[in-house]
Amino acid sequence: MSFKPGDTVHIIPLKKSGLVSRLLKPGHYQVTLGSMQITCRETDLESRTRKIKATATPESVLPPSSKEKIRRLDLHGLRVAEAMNQVESAINRAILCNQERLEILHGIGSGKIKEALHRYLEQLVVVKNFKLEPSNPGVTVIYF
């Protein structure tokens, strides 16, 4: 079975679920697991849609869809390019879900991700406003 970016997969050896970020080479994928990016063989992955239990409610077993709300995106440990790809996807999902706000956790660190994020947000017509969280300067709140 082949996977595409955005697919939710179960990583069999780790017994965890993640999101396919990209195909690295045939049979090998980069998978986002929390704030980590890991490389997995296709044989170590299975689609989350196969893991539906008859007794469970649909919401508890279905993988996150592109229309499921995302309230917070954690970018810790990512490089600027990787972070911006995830930000773009999260903003698209938030807009599709008619959300009013989205929190981006970029951390304090060197400030490179925060700077790139703010430059990107200034260009987006759909963003009404954005600001740093007053109690945590490592978080930017976006308002749509």
Q: Which domains, and CATH codes, for the chain?
A: 1-49 (2.30.30), 72-143 (3.30.1370.110)
C-alpha distances out from residue 50 to 14, 16, 63, 71, Å? 17, 15, 10, 26
Q: Over the chain, what is the mean pLDDT?
A: 84
pLDDT at 118 over 70: yes
* Predicted local distance difference test score (pLDDT) of residue 62: 35
Overall pTM > 0.75: no
* Predicted local distance difference test score (pLDDT) of residue 49: 61
Strands 136-143 and 101-105, sheet pairing = antiparallel
Dihedrals phi, psi of 7, to nearest 5 degrees: -70, 140
Indicate the pLDDT class of residue 38, thresholds 50, 70 and 90.
Answer: confident
Residue with the bigger pLDDT between 26 and 143: it is: 143
* Mean pLDDT of all residues in 91-104: 91
* Mean pLDDT of all residues in 86-94: 91
CB 48 within 8 A of CB 63: yes
